[in-house]
Chain A
Amino acid sequence: MRLLNRSAGRLSRHRRGPLAGLVLLLLGLLLSGGLYAVLAPAQAQQEETDAEMVAKGRELFLVGCSFCHGQNGEGIRTENGNQLGPPLAGVGAAAVDFQVSTGRMPMAQPGAQAPRKRPAYSEEEVAALAAYVASLGPGPAIPDESDYSTEGMTDEEREEAVSRGGQIFLTNCTACHNFAGSGGAMPEGGYAPKIRGVEPRFIYEAMLTGPQNMPNFSNTNLTPDEKRDVIAYLESLDETPEYGGFGMGGIGPVSEGMFAWLVGIGGCVAFAIWIAAHTTRSKKDKAEPEAAA
């Protein structure tokens, strides 16, 4: 306290000095300028960028998406009543980020399945498209990394998450995506894709938005924590060694049976043929063949 008093006293001794006014003026300018730089212009800049992003997104949308989804994202039906592209109002930025970043959209042609391929747009372009589609109607935003990342969990938390996520996965996801996340066939030429080794952001967005025929698991259905548990479980599947030998895609008895019949039994047959086929014979006669009798 005494120290404070002393330094205040020392300061106050200079308060009428010739430079005091100038210093105070500089301090005030610095403070207000700094505050302005941190708060006000940043917001103004951001708003401008958002509007620009939406405009840029709309341009990209008209070129790449409007053929199926309509010029205002209203969706287009074919003459026989099928949906060429669904309406996009309300699908949200998360759906765009999932579909376009994984290369599923734009599709090469309309079909039962939108396969994952090399993305056609750069990250900035995806962000612009997402901003435009998000402006069509309220929908789920692109999730934050803290929603889906399992980094920074303690071992105990992770173990708990994996066990709970495993049960959620086996109840909700296994039916289509297989018990090991290897994917599976769906009606009319579609399939549930393999979800092993997929980036956590895309798994989270897929649950959030229900791409193509997949049902939604919105945040009120499956909470963000439960979604992250599912991701933790899928990550644990990748880390677990294959105790039983080669997984062969983890698609059940078909691949294992094929291996046993073709490689296993085929190998035995080939070995048996080899045994019977290779019989070296000598041109020489045995010295006393009678002795062998």
Chain B
Amino acid sequence: MTLDHDHERLPADVVDSSEPPAEPIANPGLPAHVWRPTDVDPKAEKRAERQVAFLFLLSTVCAILFVVAYFTLDIGGDPDVFLGLGASNVALGLTLGGALLFIGVGVIQWARKLMSDHEIIEYRHPARSSDEDRQETLAAVSAGIEESGIGRRPMVRNSLLGAVTVLLAPAVIMLRDLGPTPNQVNDSGIPGAGLEHTLWTKGERVVRDVVGTPIKASDLEIGDLINAEPAAIFATNDEGEPLIEGVDLQVAKSKAAVILVRIEPQDITPGPGRDDWSVQGVMCYSKICTHVGCPISLYERTTHHLLCPCHQSTFDLADAGRVVFGPAARALPQLPIEVDSEGYLVAQSDFTEPVGPSYWERDSN
């Protein structure tokens, strides 16, 4: 499109013709073009050219420095450090960022200083195709339908429809993987599998998480908190290899995780039928929030409140895990505990209700 061609269509020119103006106020058109220094001064033009080339050169230098930094700066065990930051990351980021930035700045400088900056007007065209085009297209479609014979050959048509419909089946059955995995099904053979059960059984020792040492009731002072797991998590065979490992271990741990707290016995209001579920004020609760299953151990010793960091559900551990605040709908499941012959804390049974978030098959109470 040439400048002259554009110029013909400027409304400012139309005003001069004998026809009355279409608008009540004449369109003033575009202001007169003002030149840039680089348009009128060859020296400025040369300078801008050199600036653009210099920016592109800077980008090249940055890209080369990136390669140099990649190979020279140490990472890993004994990394190079720059201002307390990993030197390699800083150098790679700055050089790659610079390489991209300088190309961008150079292109902008090029466009603003050297490329033509004439204003151009382009008019909008109607979106509707012309009648001829539309008729032509419709004729082509009818011809296609006629020639393929899709109306005359129902067997071909129906079998195609059937094939496409059945093609949905692979997509649908893959949704199954979103549901319970074999590990979560009760009859999978893994101890404590299924949504309704955990690793806890009668006589299962409560041990400290991470270190796996058993716990006596006297180990806890008033206000103490212990993050604990069933001893089976740390069980090993004769060769010292863990009995449960991998995904099974993670699933078992995440369901069986508990916290032990010791509360002044006179502060405790045991739930109905839970009078013998604690040992000298030591109580054991599931660590998994009943809202959406975050692990919770934000415990306030003075209020006996346990807070979930995800959505602020708050449970009163002195009052059978009752929900005192937040979106959780059910009380925190309590694990009944007692003391074994050696004086260590053990579970009386599994949890009496499923731990973790509610799901549709479970009884809500």
Cross-chain contact A215 with B85 (CB below 8 angstroms): no
B209 at the interface (CB under 8 A from A): yes
**A167 — which chain B residues lie within 8 A by C-beta?**
210
Cross-chain contact A215 with B35 (CB below 8 angstroms): no
Partner of B314, one of A187, A226, A246, A284: A187
Cross-chain contact A241 with B224 (CB below 8 angstroms): no
> How many Å lie between the Cα of A168 and that of B223 in the bound state?
18
Interface residues of B in 192-249 (CB under 8 A from A): 209-211, 216, 218-227
Measuring CB to CB, which residues of chain A are less than 8 angstroms from any residue of chain B?
83, 86, 164, 167-168, 171-172, 175-176, 184, 186-187, 190, 210, 212-218, 220-221, 226, 241-246, 275, 279-282, 284-287, 289, 292-293
Size range of the chain B interface in the assembly: 35 or more
Cβ contacts A to B, 12 pairs, < 8 Å = A184-B309, A187-B307, A187-B325, A210-B224, A216-B223, A242-B84, A243-B79, A279-B112, A281-B34, A284-B40, A285-B40, A292-B3
**B81 — which chain A residues lie within 8 A by C-beta?**
241
Using A167-B210, A221-B219 as known contacts, say yes or no to A172 and B314 having CB atoms under 8 A apart.
no
Closest to B88 in A: A243
Partner of A218, one of B34, B216, B221: B221
Beyond the given A221-B225, A244-B86, please list 14 additional residue pairs across the A-B interface where CB-CB is below 8 A: A171-B210, A186-B298, A187-B325, A190-B300, A216-B301, A221-B220, A221-B224, A245-B85, A245-B90, A275-B108, A281-B35, A281-B37, A282-B37, A285-B40
Cross-chain contact A186 with B307 (CB below 8 angstroms): yes
**B37 — which chain A residues lie within 8 A by C-beta?**
280-282
**A212 — which chain B residues lie within 8 A by C-beta?**
302
* Binary contact track B92-128/A, C-beta < 8 Å → 1, others 0: 0100000000000000100010001010000000000
**B258 — which chain A residues lie within 8 A by C-beta?**
none
Closest to B301 in A: A215
> How many Å lie between the Cα of A65 and that of B165 in the bound state?
80
**A275 — which chain B residues lie within 8 A by C-beta?**
108, 112
**A187 — which chain B residues lie within 8 A by C-beta?**
300, 305, 307, 312, 314, 325
B2 at the interface (CB under 8 A from A): yes
A267 CB to closest chain B CB (Å) equals 11
Interface residues of B in 57-108 (CB under 8 A from A): 75, 79, 81, 84-86, 89-90, 93, 108
> How many Å lie between the Cα of A282 and that of B44 in the bound state?
11
> How many Å lie between the Cα of A84 and that of B225 in the bound state?
24
> How many Å lie between the Cα of A83 and that of B301 in the bound state?
13
Cross-chain contact A280 with B4 (CB below 8 angstroms): no
**A281 — which chain B residues lie within 8 A by C-beta?**
34-37
Using A176-B298, A221-B226, A281-B35 as known contacts, say yes or no to A293 and B84 having CB atoms under 8 A apart.
no
Interface residues of B in 257-302 (CB under 8 A from A): 261, 295-302
B41 at the interface (CB under 8 A from A): yes
> How many Å lie between the Cα of A275 and that of B302 in the bound state?
59
Cross-chain contact A244 with B89 (CB below 8 angstroms): yes
Using A215-B224, A216-B223 as known contacts, say yes or no to A282 and B35 having CB atoms under 8 A apart.
yes
Interface residues of B in 32-47 (CB under 8 A from A): 33-37, 39-41
B303 at the interface (CB under 8 A from A): yes
A98 CB to closest chain B CB (Å) equals 14
**A190 — which chain B residues lie within 8 A by C-beta?**
300
Cross-chain contact B301 with A210 (CB below 8 angstroms): yes
> How many Å lie between the Cα of A279 and that of B221 in the bound state?
74
Cross-chain contact B40 with A293 (CB below 8 angstroms): no
Cross-chain contact B89 with A245 (CB below 8 angstroms): yes
Using A286-B39, A293-B2 as known contacts, say yes or no to A220 and B299 having CB atoms under 8 A apart.
no
Using A187-B307, A210-B301 as known contacts, say yes or no to A287 and B40 having CB atoms under 8 A apart.
yes
> How many Å lie between the Cα of A168 and that of B325 in the bound state?
29
**B226 — which chain A residues lie within 8 A by C-beta?**
221
A211 CB to closest chain B CB (Å) equals 10
> How many Å lie between the Cα of A60 and that of B46 in the bound state?
82
User: Which of A190, A214, A275, A282 has most B Cβ within 10 Å?
Assistant: A282
**A217 — which chain B residues lie within 8 A by C-beta?**
224-225
A111 CB to closest chain B CB (Å) equals 14
- Closest CB pairs A-B (n = 9): A215-B225, A220-B219, A243-B86, A213-B300, A175-B297, A216-B224, A293-B3, A216-B223, A241-B81
**B224 — which chain A residues lie within 8 A by C-beta?**
210, 215-218, 221
Using A245-B90, A280-B37, A281-B34 as known contacts, say yes or no to A171 and B209 having CB atoms under 8 A apart.
yes
